[in-house]
Structure 1
Amino acid sequence: MSPFRMSIFEKAREHAIIRSAGDTLGWDQETYLPPAAAGHRADQLSWLASRAHELAVSDGWKKDLEAAEDADDGTDVKRAANLRELRRQFDRATKLPVELVARESAATSLAMHAWAEARKQSDFPAFAPHLDKLLGIAREKADLWGYGTEPYDALLEGYERATSTAAVAGLFDRIAPSLKDIAASAVENSRRHAVSIPAGPYPIEAQQRLNQRIAEAIGFDFTAGRIDTTTHPFCTTLGPRDVRLTTRYDEDDFTSSLFGVLHEAGHGLYELGLPEDDFGLPSGSAVSLGIHESQSRLWENHVGRSDEFWEAWYPEAVAAFPQLSGFPLESFLHHIRRAEFSPIRVEADEATYDMHILLRFGLERRLVSGSLAVKDVPEAWNEAFKGLFGFAPPDDRHGCLQDIHWSMGGLGYFATYSLGNLNSAQLMAAAKADPVVASAFAKADYAPLLTWLRSAVHSKGATLDPADLMEAATGKLPSPEDYLAHLTARYL
């Protein structure tokens, strides 16, 4: 019998099926669910989350895990890695009572709906009770999981295992001065060479056609995925061959949706590159959000904003949008690489993006520790934003209500975006050290790059910790040098 057909591995697959059913309902909630159905959908998601949790903490699961561990002789490296990660997940899951898991699922489903409405109206007080409830749940979870020096450690572990808040804070403190200097210089350079693409409209239908062609060209398989429209772009995996991307459209600038698609397609390529036969097992799962984000940022920025990419694709963009016909490629490149201090994170450029993460990371730590009250979030946000960017957001819709993460219960999540930026540059530098990848990249042929990523990152699943995976792929532990060099070369 294959070691991956043993009982514990079958239970892990069953658990993945239940979770994927919930993910399908969650995707529908964000794309097509009628507003009046939000309450029932919360009940559905809560029930599925409870069943999945009950299975993952059951006596049967524990006995089968222990039996597999006792039988393991260490000769099968992947099997041993799966057991190691299943043990970590089990030990973490068993510390949470089913009641708490169900309560969190129901609370997040309602909070996501409340957030969407509050964001439309720029009405933080309408969302505040939901955030307060989710924050209380997050603290309960942190206390049950246990932590080193602060409760945020326990939350961060759920997204980026084998690290700590202090380690991330130390990294951010180390690079913050360089990031601020690069951002200030990049913004000043962009102001001196200001350029904007010709006025719209850029029809949504034409954007959709171009976006799909480009996603296909970088390797996204539309027989195993699709693109839909949502308030907040995201990628979600509903099965080993079912990856859903979303974006949003701006008829004044087609690049907003295009870069959203490139970003989410990067996530999707990672998901589709995981070992299909191992779906539900750690070896068939992404290792961390910092690695996941490295894939989206690599395709969005290192590929999608490169000279080589647009030398190949600009003629198609001109054909799709005739108003570009008299707009030189050089000017277009200035447009897509412009740096400006924007209040919106998802529309921020490379040069200023990480400052948004520094802000959120700091506020989240204060929220979780209790040193910042929910009612004071708008004021604290605006004050911190003004200190980093020099101005305050015009309203809460462009400030503390812009991101979906808190409504999803995603406290501890934001730091992984900047970790992903650092990882993307390090991976890209290592990939382009391969002459085959570098030669093809110069011709806007990305098949060798995708093949390299499949081998170095995707195929490993979660069998290595994030730092170990980076070292195996690039020859060194995660480091900011390649990222700072990339920003300096592109923007300064």
Structure 2
Amino acid sequence: MSTFDTLMAYERDTQALGQIAGRLGWDQETMMPRGAAPQRGEEMAAIEAVLHARRSDPKVAEWLETAEAPDEAGAAQLREIKRRYERTVKAPADLARRIARVTSEAQGKWAAARADEDVAAFLPVLQEVVALKREEGQALAAGGDLYDAMVEDYEHGTTAAEIAAIFDAMRPGLVDLRARVLDRPAPKALQGAFAEGAQMKLTRKLAKAFGYDMSHGRVDKAVHPFSSGSGLDVRITTRTSEHDPFNCFYSTIHEVGHAAYEQGISRDYLLTPLGSGVSMGVHESQSRIYENQIGRGEAFTSWLYDEMRAGFGDFGIPDAESFYKAVNTVHKGYIRTEADELQYNLHIMLRFDLERALMAGDLEVSDLESAWNDRFEADFGYAVDKPSNGCLQDVHWSVGLFGYFPTYALGNVYAGCLNQKMRADLSGLDTELAMGNTASATGWLRENLQQYGGLRSPHATIAQAAGFAPSPAPLMQYLDEKFSRLYDL
């Protein structure tokens, strides 16, 4: 074999082990017995140590020196292996193992603390996570900005300063539009109880309607919905709420967006660095365009209205137009994952600023709850009522995902760009969506973005699909037009 072939064979095994580690995480969130958490921490740490050793093996550097790429995809493979190798060797193997062990334990402690509304029970282990992630960030930054080094894990090629500039440009318009909307009467809400079994039946129908291949996936329940895996095994989770079926349905559509991206990547890239989504921001662009621009659009909600009437009977909404307004209600609330399109990015901006402060040492873990509550009241105009609606609502910090949160809002920005181009390319799209047929929209995304996986950089991936460089302008225009019409502004 050539040096390139040798390196790719080695990489295939590394990628396979990474998938196994991901499956352990999926099991922990869905089926693992609660008492197994300490052992699972050891298991996760052990496999992380093996992965770190493979990713930092000096042989990789030697192969990279002499490997010759056979084509454009091969050059991209070498680029990504080199980028990961150089990043991995900066962080000690023992540190990676300690992070894996502590974050596995912290995940269980977070879930228990959230259920008990007990911030104090979670803070000691969060302090450990933050200390370890600061240590890792310092190693990765090598004298540069610590938070930039963390963002690189999720949106390579983007800095915190660039993200802050985008957020600063968006915030005034979002705050102004929200204020005008909340000054108008709220649409009529759903009434009654919605059985869990019926919710799960419809949620699986929704998953299939959006192109999720159930022969290579499954839908389960978890505290915090997520998507896991790539290639031939891509799983999603959702959650149910007796009086809020939208929580289940739109969580499902959101996670199907992630899963469809992974399932849509060219099989030529299976178990290679190009065989998964290029970044979390681009990943989020898929989940958000599935959930919002398609799933919450007037055309698709007219089909969903009929499906809900068939599954639940009368739930207090007289017609499809009123249902569309109910789906897109702008309302006061605490939970990021339940936030409407208009306010969602404000939730992300809050987390972005707080976690930057945590990593910089400007905010201590012991002060996190009060800092969160103060910032939330300043941004949203009312006080947090309980920890599960505040700093305990998200799993991300417990598992060490610092630098991840801003990619949610970047994904919204990217989705705005993609939606503008998709609508220009696909005439008659709404007629199909009104029949529950998303094939043209999801096919356009697969053809123009998903199939390429990690072939290009995040910005280049969006620019290639949309035809222009990423900008918040299309998203802001879309939000202004949509909610101005919905609320007669």
Normalised by the shorter chain, which TM-score bucket? over 0.9
AA matched with 2:10:
K
Please point out which of 477, 481, 485 is paired with 1:489. Answer: 481
Distance of aligned partners of 1:339 and 1:325 in 2 relative to their CA distance in 1, 3 Å threshold: closer
- Alignment of 1:397 onto 2:396: no
Please point out which of 278, 294, 297 is paired with 1:287. Answer: 278
Please point out which of 423, 444, 468 is paired with 2:460. Answer: 468
8 Å contact kept, 1:197–1:327: no
State the match for 1:455 in structure 2: 447
8 Å contact kept, 1:3–1:79: no
8 Å contact kept, 1:114–1:127: yes
C-alpha distance in 1, partners of 2:2/2:324? 53
Distance of aligned partners of 1:459 and 1:297 in 2 relative to their CA distance in 1, 3 Å threshold: same
- Alignment of 1:366 onto 2:365: no
CA RMSD after TM alignment: 1.7
C-alpha distance in 2, partners of 1:282/1:402? 32
C-alpha distance in 2, partners of 1:177/1:215? 35
8 Å contact kept, 1:344–1:402: yes
Moved more, 441-450 or 465-474: 441-450
8 Å contact kept, 1:470–1:478: yes
8 Å contact kept, 2:191–2:316: no
State the match for 2:125 in structure 1: 130
User: What is the SS of the residue equivalent to 1:323?
Assistant: coil
State the match for 2:26 in structure 1: 27
Cα deviation, residue 2, structure 1: 8.8
* Percent identity between the two aligned chains: 36
C-alpha distance in 1, partners of 2:277/2:387? 33
8 Å contact kept, 1:431–1:437: no
State the match for 1:246 in structure 2: 237
- Alignment of 1:195 onto 2:194: no
Please point out which of 413, 423, 428 is paired with 2:414. Answer: 423
C-alpha distance in 2, partners of 1:137/1:62? 27
8 Å contact kept, 1:343–1:393: yes
State the match for 1:211 in structure 2: 203
- Alignment of 1:15 onto 2:14: yes
TM-score by length of 1: 0.95
Moved more, 357-366 or 55-64: 55-64
AA matched with 2:161:
A
Aligned 1:71-470 pairs, distance under 5 A: 71-72=68-69, 76-146=71-141, 150-189=145-184, 192-200=185-193, 202-237=194-229, 239-324=230-315, 327-435=318-426, 438=429, 440-441=432-433, 444-470=436-462
How many residue pairs align between the two structures?
483
CA-to-aligned-CA distance 1:177-232 (integer Å, 9 cap, x gap): 0111122222223xx143111211x1111111111111111111111111111111
8 Å contact kept, 1:245–1:268: yes
Aligned 1:36-51 pairs, distance under 5 A: 36-51=35-50
State the match for 1:59 in structure 2: 58
Deviating beyond 3 angstroms after TM superposition, the runs of 4 or more aligned structure 1 residues are 1-4, 435-444
Distance of aligned partners of 1:90 and 1:461 in 2 relative to their CA distance in 1, 3 Å threshold: same
Moved more, 85-94 or 141-150: 141-150
C-alpha distance in 2, partners of 1:340/1:247? 22
C-alpha distance in 1, partners of 2:423/2:187? 31
Distance of aligned partners of 1:22 and 1:102 in 2 relative to their CA distance in 1, 3 Å threshold: same
User: What is the SS of the residue equivalent to 1:172?
Assistant: helix
C-alpha distance in 1, partners of 2:54/2:439? 40
Moved more, 146-155 or 445-454: 146-155
TM-score by length of 2: 0.96
Cα deviation, residue 22, structure 1: 1.1
User: What is the SS of the residue equivalent to 2:220?
Assistant: strand
AA matched with 1:206:
A
C-alpha distance in 2, partners of 1:149/1:46? 28
CA-to-aligned-CA distance 1:132-175 (integer Å, 9 cap, x gap): 11111111111111267531110011100001011101111111
Distance of aligned partners of 1:308 and 1:461 in 2 relative to their CA distance in 1, 3 Å threshold: same
AA matched with 2:179:
A
8 Å contact kept, 2:221–2:237: yes
Cα deviation, residue 283, structure 1: 2.1
C-alpha distance in 2, partners of 1:3/1:327? 66
User: What is the SS of the residue equivalent to 2:218?
Assistant: strand
C-alpha distance in 2, partners of 1:431/1:148? 42
Moved more, 480-489 or 432-441: 432-441
8 Å contact kept, 2:227–2:258: yes
CA-to-aligned-CA distance 1:6-43 (integer Å, 9 cap, x gap): 01111111111111111111111011111111011111
8 Å contact kept, 2:29–2:222: yes
Cα deviation, residue 444, structure 1: 4.2
Distance of aligned partners of 1:234 and 1:435 in 2 relative to their CA distance in 1, 3 Å threshold: closer
Return 5+ residue gaps in structure 2 as ranges: 485-489
User: What is the SS of the residue equivalent to 1:386?
Assistant: helix
State the match for 2:487 in structure 1: none
User: What is the SS of the residue equivalent to 1:236?
Assistant: strand
CA-to-aligned-CA distance 1:386-416 (integer Å, 9 cap, x gap): 0000011101111000000001100111000
